[in-house]
Amino acid sequence: MTAEKRTKRKKRRLKKKYKIRLIVLAVIAIAALVLYFPAKKKVTEMLHPAPIGTVKVDWYKDLNQKHLKYAQQNGIARFKTNEELEAGVPELLKTGKLEHISDNGYYRICPLTHSHPYLTPSAKNFLEELGKRFSQKLDEHDLPHYYYQVSSLLRTTENQKKLSRSNGNASPNTSHLYATTFDIPYFTVVKRTLLWNEAEVTDGRASKLLSEAIGELREEGRCVVVTERNERCFHITVTD
């Protein structure tokens, strides 16, 4: 066999080899596309779950006077400015009159723009008890684990004045000034999704169970509550 023929045969083998590789790569690419788009859709659904059901909660109507009565009776002295709060909080934490509030196994703290993450020990205990009851109700109804949210806690007079500029319902004399009061949104709860991410979820079943748990504690005399329609939250003040 001449050198020229050997060269031609070698080229044909290389072409055949490349064709096989191209076919294999094409098959892999097509398979990847077929698998990718359903997977992408599934991931999107997990990261941003669709709303479930209609949100219907109980309407509690304990007036502001009741909230103020218990807040002034059991809470701390109000802070006029944020600067005063920053200076005074360490001593209140040290003496056990205030507790720092952060995410835990029952609830998540929303980004706080007009309040600070502190409550009285009694208010913190209430959040824990509410979390236990809410979780138990979710289990009893075979629902996934949800975290409820806390959207507003201790405010200063300075915070309240700024809030009143954007929220006409914000009373200048609010029980939030005494660290006994907090807001719990009812329209959404938080669910752990893919790879430890979390997302806000609208699940009418969970919202109703959260409302029922709050109602039980109210009936037991543990709190006073007003359901705020515009803010979509429960405004709660502990009574001890």
pLDDT digits (tens, 9 = 90+) for 18-58: 667 767 677 676 665 555 444 444 444 445 667 888 999 99
Cα separation, 239 vs 42, whole angstroms: 46
| Nearest by Cα to 151 from 178, 104, 201, 116 | 116
Cα separation, 135 vs 231, whole angstroms: 24
Confidence at residue 211, expressed as pLDDT on a 0 to 100 scale: 98
Indicate whether 10 pLDDT > 60.
Answer: no
Cα separation, 103 vs 109, whole angstroms: 6
Sort strands 233-238 and 181-185 into parallel, antiparallel or unpaired.
antiparallel
* pTM (predicted TM-score): 0.79
Cα separation, 183 vs 165, whole angstroms: 19
- Quick one: CA dihedral 37, 39, 41, 43, positive or negative? negative
Model confidence pLDDT, tens digit, residues 66-85? 999 999 999 999 999 999 99
* Residue corresponding to tokens 């479930």: 52
* Residue corresponding to tokens 């949800």: 146
Proportion of the chain in helix, strand, coil states, percent, rounded to 5: 50, 20, 30
Q: List the beta strands (DSSP E) in the chain.
A: 99-100, 107-109, 118-119, 148-150, 181-185, 189-192, 198-201, 223-228, 233-238
Cα separation, 93 vs 89, whole angstroms: 6
Cα separation, 203 vs 185, whole angstroms: 12
- Quick one: CA dihedral 11, 15, 20, 26, positive or negative? positive
Confidence at residue 47, expressed as pLDDT on a 0 to 100 scale: 52
Q: What is the mean pLDDT of residues 170-178?
A: 86
Cα separation, 77 vs 83, whole angstroms: 15
